[in-house]
Chains A and B, each alone.
Chain A
Amino acid sequence: MSNLYRSVFDIIGPIMIGPSSSHTAGAVAIGRAANDLFGGIPERVIVHYYGSFAKTHRGHGTDYAIAAGVLGFDASDPRVPNSRQIAREQGIDIRFVEESGESPIHHPNTAVLDLIGGDKRVQISGCSIGGGTIEIRNIRLHGIDIKPTGPLSIILYVTTNTERDNGISLIEDLNRLAPFYKKQVLKNNEYTIYEFDLKQQLQEGIRGFFVNKYENIICL
């Protein structure tokens, strides 16, 4: 048995703009995660589609769904079908590439997003596992590859190796407020990234607590 669907509202829900929960609502969720990871709306986005996403994205509205997520819209936002137009008007360049190879994260509904703005470049690889639920299976941030497991929520905490590291205090707060089942600490010459896979979806109020207390925290 898997533990991917944890809430009854993963099954009865989400409320969304049609036509497909995996290719539209799930795609909005992948775009949202990209927006959260980037910390806002990037200037350029290159979306690589694999598998069923590559073959049917136009029929399912996957393009406008990803664009809507990148702009920060919800799956039920009436602006979802017009999001590509809205992105164009805001001067955001979003391109879609149909890849013919195997999904790098091994799922038929895969989108890999490169997000670019100024000097900043991040990559997020998500798959839509059905009914609007997604998994983020790879994140590239500051040149570090992070491989989370399971559905959202995920917390990332980024520190440069020269600043004071609040990792221990964060772990204590997480144990108290938002228990995790897996932790990774990844480093390169410049950065240390803590990654936590949470047991439950992060509730809004608790998310606010972490964002206020910790600089450089990313909640997906």
Chain B
Amino acid sequence: MYASIEELVSDATIKNLPISELVIQAECNDMNVSRNDVWRKMKHNLDTMRLAVSRGAHGIGVHSKTGLTGGDAVKIKDYRKSHKTLSGDMIMSAVQSAIATNEVNAAMGVICATPTAGSSGTLPGVLFTLEKRLGLDEEQMVRFLFTAGGFGMVIANNACIAGATGGCQAEVGSASGMGAAAAVEVAGGTPKQSANAMAIAISNLLGLVCDPIAGLVEVPCINRNAIGSSNALISADMALAGCESMIPADEVISAMDKVGKNMPESLRETGIGGLAGTPTGQEIRMRIFGKNL
């Protein structure tokens, strides 16, 4: 297990190994399990993600029990077919996969939490877009997840990944940083560029609050994953272009931790402040649960 991004990057550079490889080796050693088992388990996670992405955008899509959300992934799929998108088909394909996954999650379907269920669409949004864009094979896709997970472990152990502790920046922000770092590796960038991509991505979402309407992981959680995915792709591109984060990755993580701790409780997954606290947010809560806060 790695204590910091700096340690992860320097170890990868010294050993001349991709970060995904270091994460696989650390998992085998720390958990005392075979490489085969570790690989198989990650492949199963990948398969689960693929199913959710496809289920959410299939037919009429999926809809949550509350009726608040669903069907947007299908709308985006149709729009991509019939229109010239403004942000480009690649970004909108990431948005579609991200939203599809979180719609399945909101509808109590099966997803893979990465790092959380509320942020489960961000990595698939990035990964399945790059699959087509870069022609990734299965091995590269599984490696993407190990790299993302390696960065995520450092974030989780030095800051937090729960909205109730650190706001949405800790969930979608972390996922976006993990996705950006992993995107750099599959695109052939260096470990240092991965660290820069993560730092840029998290910096862009710093301060994002967790304000789910009626406490449900629907609004605004689903759309925020679309932003998480697009932000990851943009941050990865910037790092690959040679742009650097002024603040080192580990300090960005520590800043996120402090911002989270300073966030009022009403903005940390209590369904009280932010969008949840708006007149419409409160009205929806009343309608669903028959109870105001």
Residues of chain A at the chain B interface (Cβ within 8 Å) = 1-22, 24-25, 51-52, 55-61, 76, 78, 80-81, 108-109, 128-132, 200-201, 203
Chain A residues whose CB sits within 8 angstroms of the CB of B216 once the complex forms? 19, 59-60
Known pairs A8-B150, A10-B156; A76 contacts B272 (CB<8 A): no
Chain B residues whose CB sits within 8 angstroms of the CB of A131 once the complex forms? 113, 115-116, 156, 161-162
CB distance from A143 to the nearest CB of B (A): 32
Chain B residues whose CB sits within 8 angstroms of the CB of A9 once the complex forms? 27, 41-42, 45, 149
Chain A residues whose CB sits within 8 angstroms of the CB of B145 once the complex forms? 12
Closest residue on chain B to residue A7 by CB atoms: B31
**Is B271 at the interface (CB under 8 A from chain A)?**
yes
Closest residue on chain A to residue B213 by CB atoms: A59
Chain B residues whose CB sits within 8 angstroms of the CB of A80 once the complex forms? 108
Contact call A17/B118, Cβ cutoff below 8 A? no
Contact call A109/B33, Cβ cutoff below 8 A? no
Contact call B162/A130, Cβ cutoff below 8 A? yes
A8 vs B212: C-alpha distance in the bound complex, in angstroms? Answer: 27
Closest residue on chain B to residue A129 by CB atoms: B162
A35 vs B104: C-alpha distance in the bound complex, in angstroms? Answer: 29
Contact call B162/A13, Cβ cutoff below 8 A? no
Chain A residues whose CB sits within 8 angstroms of the CB of B18 once the complex forms? none
Chain A residues whose CB sits within 8 angstroms of the CB of B164 once the complex forms? 22, 51-52, 108-109, 130
Contact call B157/A12, Cβ cutoff below 8 A? no
Known pairs A15-B110, A200-B32, A201-B31; A2 contacts B157 (CB<8 A): yes
A131 vs B155: C-alpha distance in the bound complex, in angstroms? Answer: 12
Contact call B113/A132, Cβ cutoff below 8 A? yes
**Is B72 at the interface (CB under 8 A from chain A)?**
no
Chain B residues whose CB sits within 8 angstroms of the CB of A128 once the complex forms? 162
Chain B residues whose CB sits within 8 angstroms of the CB of A60 once the complex forms? 215-217
From 122 to 161 in chain B, residues with beta carbon under 8 angstroms from any chain A beta carbon are 123, 145-146, 148-150, 152-153, 156-158, 160-161
A1 vs B107: C-alpha distance in the bound complex, in angstroms? Answer: 36
A58 vs B44: C-alpha distance in the bound complex, in angstroms? Answer: 30
A-B pairs with beta carbons under 8 Å apart, 25 shown: A1-B157, A1-B158, A5-B153, A8-B26, A8-B42, A11-B115, A11-B148, A12-B42, A13-B114, A15-B113, A18-B217, A25-B113, A51-B270, A52-B268, A59-B214, A59-B216, A59-B271, A60-B215, A109-B164, A130-B115, A130-B156, A131-B156, A132-B116, A132-B117, A200-B30
CB distance from B264 to the nearest CB of A (A): 12
CB distance from A25 to the nearest CB of B (A): 6
Chain A residues whose CB sits within 8 angstroms of the CB of B288 once the complex forms? 59
**Is B237 at the interface (CB under 8 A from chain A)?**
no
- Among A8, A15, A108, A130, which residue has the most Cβ atoms of chain B within 10 A? A8
Closest residue on chain B to residue A76 by CB atoms: B110
Contact call B118/A108, Cβ cutoff below 8 A? no
- Among A109, A130, A200, which residue has the most Cβ atoms of chain B within 10 A? A130
**Is B277 at the interface (CB under 8 A from chain A)?**
no
A10 vs B30: C-alpha distance in the bound complex, in angstroms? Answer: 13
Closest residue on chain B to residue A53 by CB atoms: B164
Contact call B106/A55, Cβ cutoff below 8 A? no
Contact call B116/A22, Cβ cutoff below 8 A? yes
Known pairs A109-B162, A109-B164; A12 contacts B152 (CB<8 A): yes
CB distance from A53 to the nearest CB of B (A): 8
**Is B242 at the interface (CB under 8 A from chain A)?**
no
From 62 to 108 in chain B, residues with beta carbon under 8 angstroms from any chain A beta carbon are 104-108
Choose among B109, B113, B160 the residue that contacts A14 (Cβ–Cβ < 8 A): B113
A93 vs B129: C-alpha distance in the bound complex, in angstroms? Answer: 47
Contact call A8/B110, Cβ cutoff below 8 A? no
**Is B180 at the interface (CB under 8 A from chain A)?**
no
Chain B residues whose CB sits within 8 angstroms of the CB of A25 once the complex forms? 113, 117
Contact call B112/A13, Cβ cutoff below 8 A? yes
A14 vs B105: C-alpha distance in the bound complex, in angstroms? Answer: 13
A58 vs B288: C-alpha distance in the bound complex, in angstroms? Answer: 10
Choose among B45, B162, B218, B269 the residue that contacts A12 (Cβ–Cβ < 8 A): B45
Contact call A7/B112, Cβ cutoff below 8 A? no
Q: Which 6 A-B pairs have the closest CB atoms?
A: A130-B162, A56-B215, A59-B215, A18-B105, A11-B152, A8-B149
Known pairs A12-B148, A17-B109, A22-B163; A130 contacts B117 (CB<8 A): no
Closest residue on chain B to residue A8 by CB atoms: B149
**Is B265 at the interface (CB under 8 A from chain A)?**
yes
Closest residue on chain A to residue B269 by CB atoms: A52
Choose among A10, A15, A51, A81 the residue that contacts B112 (Cβ–Cβ < 8 A): A15
Chain B residues whose CB sits within 8 angstroms of the CB of A21 once the complex forms? 113, 115-118, 120
